[in-house]
Every structure is written in C-alpha cells, then in structure tokens.
Amino acid sequence: MFKAKYIYEFFYPHRSKLINSYHKAIEYRLYSYKAVKNILDEGLDRPREASNEKLPLHDNIRGAAYYN
C-alpha cells in the first residue's frame, strides 16, 4: 500500500499521466507497482499517435486481382 500511496502523491500534479498508466497496466493485465512504474518510465502512458505513413510496396504484396 505504501508504494501505491507514494506514486500517487508523487504524480498528484500530473494525475492524468498516472491515471493513463493505470489504464495501460490494466489493459496489459499487469497489476503491480513495478508494472506501473515501468509504464511511466518508458512513456507508455501517452496515447499512441496515428501514423499517416503508407506501407512501402514490394513484390510480396498481393493486390485485389490476386483474390479474384
């Protein structure tokens, strides 16, 4: 309980960051202090950014004509 209280008090000014890390830990089904700490350390609490990059074309990609 002490660790959870410590992490809450430490991140109180940044509650959204802590709450996001809790949600991510639950999503990964990790329920320990260490898991939440690792999520915060690695920056995994931030939402993913959508990528607008197109995949590169190469010979191994089959087009729609292949399946008809």
Residue pLDDT, tens place only, 8-31: 666 666 778 888 888 889 988 998
Q: Measuring CA to CA, which residue among 45, 50, 4, 1 is closest to residue 23?
A: 45
For the chain, the domains span: 1-47
- Token pair belonging to 67: 């399946």
pLDDT of residue 33: 86
Helix (H) or strand (E) holding 24: helix 15-27
What does pTM read for this prediction?
A: 0.52
Q: pLDDT, tens digit, for every residue of 26-50?
A: 988 998 889 988 988 898 888 777 6
pLDDT of residue 67: 79
Rounded mean pLDDT of 49-67? 74
Task: For 50, list phi and psi in degrees, rounded to 5.
Answer: -70, 135
Task: For 53, list phi and psi in degrees, rounded to 5.
Answer: -75, 140
pLDDT of residue 36: 87
